[in-house]
Amino acid sequence: MDNDYLKQIDTLKISLANLVSDHSKQSQAIQAKNNRISELEHECEYFKKQIAELNTKLENL
C-alpha cells in the first residue's frame, strides 16, 4: 500500500514540475511579445514624429 502512495506522490511531483515548466515557458513567451509590442509602439511614435516633420516641411514649400 505504501508503494502505491509513493508512486502517486511521484506522479503528482512530475505533474507539478510539468505545470511549473509550462507556466514558465508561457510567461517567457508573453514577456517576449510584450517587449515586441513596446518596440512597435516606440517605432510608431518615431514615425508619427517623422510624418509631422515632413508635413511641416511640405507646408513651408
Please check the confidence at residue 1 and state whether its pLDDT lies above 80: no
Q: Which pTM value belongs to this model? A: 0.70
In 1-61, DSSP assigns E strands to none
pLDDT in tens, 7-21: 999 999 999 999 999
Give the rounded percent of residues in the chain with a pLDDT score beyond 70.
Answer: 98
d(CA 57, CA 51): 10
